[in-house]
């Protein structure tokens, strides 16, 4: 795996091709939108999905923990698909999560899908988390922000043109002020980074980092005004 370095608010961060952000200076690993137990939530509503999303997501998280050996793990909200998701964790997955986080500080930022702290799991829950010049929250704030906002929520994805046609992948969206993470959950969908809900947060344009198997693929996203003029 070849991570991509970026600099925000004077801090060097690493974007991992698995969809996580790492702050080496704080030994912090950040993931967003795990949506654990989405399969069981859909099943309860009569929409059947294979019940393996939590297992796959946790296996991917475990690989990241082995790769980076963080002192802290921060989940940027919507870690569970609904407020009852933590209570529905199968015993095996709950035990695996406890083992995985042994000796690691776990921080849960609350999201719109999981507005309450996950019961019975290690770690502390909070509305947002600040450390030094960086602030971590579930959803990016509209309007001017200080450099250093890290968020999730929108599940950004983008399409990169190739000679064989466009390839669509989840992506990071970054500029000099903020970074938006892709969704980490196995069953999480995606919103095009060109959608106004995402692009409007990056009015001066942004850099998109599409997830690949071993590396990230970078391309520019132009300013919102220029895109609108071209469309008109």
Q: What are 79-103's pLDDT values in tens digits?
A: 998 888 888 889 999 999 999 999 9
pTM, entire model: 0.91
pLDDT confidence bin for 225, thresholds 50/70/90: low
Tell me: pLDDT of 180 over 50. yes
**Contact status, residue 5 vs residue 11, Cβ threshold 8 Å:** no
pLDDT of residue 230: 38
Three-state SS sequence of 102-120:
CCCEEEEECCCCCCCCCCC
User: What total number of domains does the chain contain?
Assistant: 1
Instruction: Convert the pLDDT of each residue in 59-71 to its tens digit.
Output: 999 999 999 999 9
Segment among 47-51, 85-89, 120-124, 181-185 with least mean pLDDT? 47-51
- Pairing verdict, β 156-160 and 191-192: parallel
The DSSP bridge partners found for residue 23 are: 28
Residue 230: φ, ψ to 5° = -65, -35
Least confident of 48-52, 55-59, 113-117, 167-171: 48-52
| Banded model confidence at residue 228, pLDDT cuts 50, 70, 90 | very low
CATH at 20: 3.60.21
- Enclosing domain of residue 183: 4-231
Angle at 96 between CA 92 and CA 99, to 5 degrees: 140
Residues in a beta bridge with 220: 207
DSSP character for 182?
A: P
Q: Give me the pLDDT at residue 187, please.
A: 87
For 143, the token pair is 């309007």
């Amino acid at each position: 795996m070849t991570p991509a370095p970026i600099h925000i608010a004077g801090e060097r961060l690493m974007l991992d091709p698995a969809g996580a952000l790492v702050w080496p200076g704080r030994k912090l690993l950040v993931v967003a939108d795990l949506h654990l137990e989405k399969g069981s939530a859909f099943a309860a509503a009569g929409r059947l999905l294979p019940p393996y999303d939590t297992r796959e997501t946790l296996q991917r998280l475990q690989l990241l923990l082995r790769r980076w050996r963080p002192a802290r793990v921060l989940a940027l909200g919507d870690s569970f698909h609904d407020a009852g998701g933590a209570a529905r964790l199968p015993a095996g997955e709950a035990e695996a999560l406890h083992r995985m986080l042994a000796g690691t500080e776990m921080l849960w930022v609350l999201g719109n899908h999981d507005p309450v702290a996950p019961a019975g799991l290690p770690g502390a829950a909070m509305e947002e988390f600040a450390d030094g010049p960086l602030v971590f929250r579930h959803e990016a704030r509209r309007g001017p922000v200080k450099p250093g906002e890290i968020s999730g929520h929108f599940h950004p994805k983008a399409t990169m043109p190739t000679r064989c046609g466009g390839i669509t992948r989840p992506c990071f969206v970054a500029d000099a002020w903020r970074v938006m993470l892709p969704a980490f959950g196995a069953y999480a969908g995606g919103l095009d980074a060109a959608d106004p809900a995402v692009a409007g947060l990056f009015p001066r344009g942004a850099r998109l980092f599409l997830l690949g198997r071993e590396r990230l693929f970078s391309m520019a996203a132009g300013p919102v005004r220029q895109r609108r003029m071209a469309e008109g």
